[in-house]
Chains A and B, each alone.
Chain A
Amino acid sequence: MWLDYQNDVKVSDVELAAREGYESVEHTKRYTTLGMATDQGKLSNINGLAVLAGALAAPIPQVGTTTFRPPYAPVTLGALAGEARDEIFQPLRTTPMHAWHAAQGAWFEPVGLWRRPWCYPRAGETHAEAVAREVRNTRSAVGLLDASTLGKILVRGPDAGRLLDMLYTGVMSTLAVGRCRYGLMCNEQGFLIDDGVVARLDDQTWLCHTTTGGADRIHAWIEDWLQCEWWDWQVHAANLTEQYAQVAVAGPRARALLDRLGGLDVSKQALPHMGWVQGRLGGFEVRAYRISFSGELSYEIAVPAGQGMALWTACLTAGADLGVMPYGTEALHVMRAEKGYIMIGDETDGTVIPQDLGLGWAVSKKKADFLGKRGQERAHLASPDRWTLVGFETLDGSVIPDGAHIPDAGVNANGQRNVQGRVTSTYFSPTLNRGIAMGLIRHGARRMGEVVAFAIPGKPDLRARIVSPVFYDPEGGRLDA
């Protein structure tokens, strides 16, 4: 006969406890789990005590009671939920320009706890149309992106270069002051965990940009290594992500826009691609980084967060007759895919190494050690049969569905169809007016021109040609303008 409906305790269990010698009610409770569920015995304990008393041939009061805890007495659902409801169900992180984005009717997407504009649809526009317009405008005129959410970790000290050479797969210690370098971070197993541009600020100081979602995680990762492994190295790190608002000004007219703000020489000579300068731009104290995730001539302008909205407004005003428009994260993603730039979390999933993505050039062969080096030497990761990054061009120009797999001949031990690759990013490219995709496929780099099929229900005829993942401006002339 059931006694405790929550913990499945039967009368026979309590009687067995008594026979086994668990005469104390507290011992019987622990032996049987009687009364230990969330009702704390409200449904079962009185009966349970009576059964135990019967088994021990003792009066019920002599058996005693067990300790019962909340929520034995009723607790409201409100007390359990606490403050977490409605607008404060979850903290949402917003940038200093968020109110402007919202007033423009931006469609937001969650990036971690951040809310970032995905696109800025205009009246009568679908989201896809808005994205296409934002891409075309950035490629032909100039666009603004709120890049404030990107992680910014300051690393300083006599051993800062040594630390960064361990954290990144490439060499950061040799970076010249005033220059930027793209870097990859791997975990000890060799798998990619983050990427971003590092700027050398002065002899002892580097500023490491991380992905938006990676800022806190990478800061904690750095502290972990510094506190637990390299505690005697003379270097400190601080997460400055929220101190700065950052605006990407990208497009062929980006320089003209900044020249109108005035005060800072942003010419190719004074500020070449992958350089940075500090100075006064249009009355703002800024740091201007000449870096590009869109493939266009591009600057990222950083100011203290309290000036972010003023800088954004100044850029819109200065660029009004240059055709300036904000662009959202989807236009950013489309443009980076057109350029064949990888995205952590799209091209990577925790099983991908830099070499899979054609990023072997960013992995040092000279350094004695770095996080991930030994992992990448393991047979499976060094195998020539790994899936590697390619581009896909559909034969009919359509867009391949996200996450599509490329089946292979035969079946595996479980009778499932073999797979030789998968699509990691897929978009309609407004620039090329066709579907483009990136993906990983076995022996990818050796299979240029080959046509493959996908396992997509309802689309048995979909075919794509394997091409270079760089669809747009492979010479890089546009970003080096």
Chain B
Amino acid sequence: MPDPVTPLGHETFDGFARIREIGPLGMVTLRAAPDRPELAAALAAAGGLPVPGVRRLARAGDRAVAWMGPDEFLLILPYPEVPATLAALTAALGAAPHLAADMSDARVVLAVEGARADQVLAKLTPADLDALEADEIRRTRLAQVACALWREGDGFRLIAFRSVARYAMDLLIRAAQPGSELRGARGAGAFPASVPARA
């Protein structure tokens, strides 16, 4: 099999934050009832992962599992390990009703990094980034397309559908243009306090 090609050829952009396309990243969509014991066993078998709480992203080594909905989870793992992990999940889930599917090629994976990474995303998503905790995932939107994002290192990881990879990258490039930083420092709120809420 030829090596997988990522949608943006690992394009990068250095603005007031750094934007990088990373990947390929292994992603497995798993749907199963959260209270089935087979689910916990399957996630444990897939690299020692727990059943994540609502809107949580649980990490174990180079793997993670994210809560995507009441009966939907996203496993994040090294790309080459997807087939073996799918087999382990399917075996452990056994007769428990479930759906497990490789979605590694269905998305673009972007890193937004640097001290002002939150300002880039604040221009594009309605999610409250100040409230986003270290082990939290948000399914939200990036301008006009669906995305999910979580904290990683000194910035964020962001996933969106592959077909809109170009659009997502162009959005981030525009939002990270030098000189377009938002006033106010990180932590003090990205938006200036001088604009009264009720002028």
- In the complex where A94-B166, A310-B2 touch, is A88 in contact with B174 (Cβ < 8 A)? yes
Q: Which of B75-127 contact A (CB under 8 A)?
A: 97-99, 101-107, 123-124
Question: Would you call A12 an interface residue if the criterion is a C-beta within 8 Å of the partner chain's C-beta atoms?
Answer: no
The answer for the CA separation of A158 and B93 in the assembled complex, in Å, is 13
Question: Would you call A156 an interface residue if the criterion is a C-beta within 8 Å of the partner chain's C-beta atoms?
Answer: yes
Taking CB as reference atom, which chain B residue is nearest A85? B174
Whether the pair A236, B2 counts as a contact (CB closer than 8 A) is: no
- In the complex where A68-B199, A236-B99, A304-B105 touch, is A93 in contact with B71 (Cβ < 8 A)? no
Question: Would you call B29 an interface residue if the criterion is a C-beta within 8 Å of the partner chain's C-beta atoms?
Answer: yes
Whether the pair A69, B199 counts as a contact (CB closer than 8 A) is: yes
Question: Would you call B40 an interface residue if the criterion is a C-beta within 8 Å of the partner chain's C-beta atoms?
Answer: no
CB-CB under 8 A from B105, the residues of chain A are: 242-244, 304-307
Question: Would you call A73 an interface residue if the criterion is a C-beta within 8 Å of the partner chain's C-beta atoms?
Answer: yes
Question: Would you call B143 an interface residue if the criterion is a C-beta within 8 Å of the partner chain's C-beta atoms?
Answer: yes
Question: Would you call A309 an interface residue if the criterion is a C-beta within 8 Å of the partner chain's C-beta atoms?
Answer: yes
5 closest cross-chain pairs (CB), A and B: A306-B4, A93-B163, A236-B99, A305-B105, A242-B106
Whether the pair A84, B97 counts as a contact (CB closer than 8 A) is: no
Whether the pair A309, B5 counts as a contact (CB closer than 8 A) is: yes
CB-CB under 8 A from A67, the residues of chain B are: 198
The answer for the CA separation of A154 and B102 in the assembled complex, in Å, is 11
- Give the Cβ gap from B24 to chain A, nearest Cβ, in Å: 6
CB-CB under 8 A from A237, the residues of chain B are: 99
Q: Which residues of B contact A (CB under 8 A)?
A: 1-2, 4-7, 24, 29, 31-32, 71, 97-99, 101-107, 123-124, 143-145, 161-164, 166-167, 170-171, 174-175, 198-199
The answer for the CA separation of A156 and B71 in the assembled complex, in Å, is 14
CB-CB under 8 A from B162, the residues of chain A are: 96, 242, 305
Q: Can you list 24 A-B pairs, Cβ within 8 angstroms, ordered by A?
A: A69-B198, A83-B123, A83-B175, A88-B171, A90-B144, A91-B144, A91-B167, A92-B167, A93-B161, A238-B99, A242-B105, A242-B106, A242-B107, A242-B163, A243-B102, A243-B103, A243-B105, A304-B102, A305-B7, A306-B105, A307-B2, A307-B4, A307-B105, A309-B5
Partner of B163, one of A114, A235, A238, A309: A114
Partner of A83, one of B1, B98, B106, B174: B174
The answer for the CA separation of A272 and B145 in the assembled complex, in Å, is 40
Whether the pair B97, A158 counts as a contact (CB closer than 8 A) is: yes
Whether the pair B99, A157 counts as a contact (CB closer than 8 A) is: yes
CB-CB under 8 A from B101, the residues of chain A are: 154, 238, 240, 243
Interface size on A (CB < 8 Å)? Answer: 43
Question: Would you call A104 an interface residue if the criterion is a C-beta within 8 Å of the partner chain's C-beta atoms?
Answer: no
CB-CB under 8 A from B161, the residues of chain A are: 93, 242
Taking CB as reference atom, which chain B residue is nearest A114? B163
Q: Which of A254-293 contact B (CB under 8 A)?
A: 283-285
Question: Would you call A351 an interface residue if the criterion is a C-beta within 8 Å of the partner chain's C-beta atoms?
Answer: no
Taking CB as reference atom, which chain A residue is nearest B83? A285
The answer for the CA separation of A236 and B24 in the assembled complex, in Å, is 26
Whether the pair B144, A306 counts as a contact (CB closer than 8 A) is: no
Q: Which of A46-89 contact B (CB under 8 A)?
A: 67-70, 72-73, 82-84, 87-88
The answer for the CA separation of A151 and B101 in the assembled complex, in Å, is 15
Whether the pair B170, A87 counts as a contact (CB closer than 8 A) is: yes
- Give the Cβ gap from B71 to chain A, nearest Cβ, in Å: 7
A158-200 interface code vs B (CB 8 A; 1 in, 0 out): 1000000000000000000000000000000000000000000
CB-CB under 8 A from A304, the residues of chain B are: 4, 102, 104-105
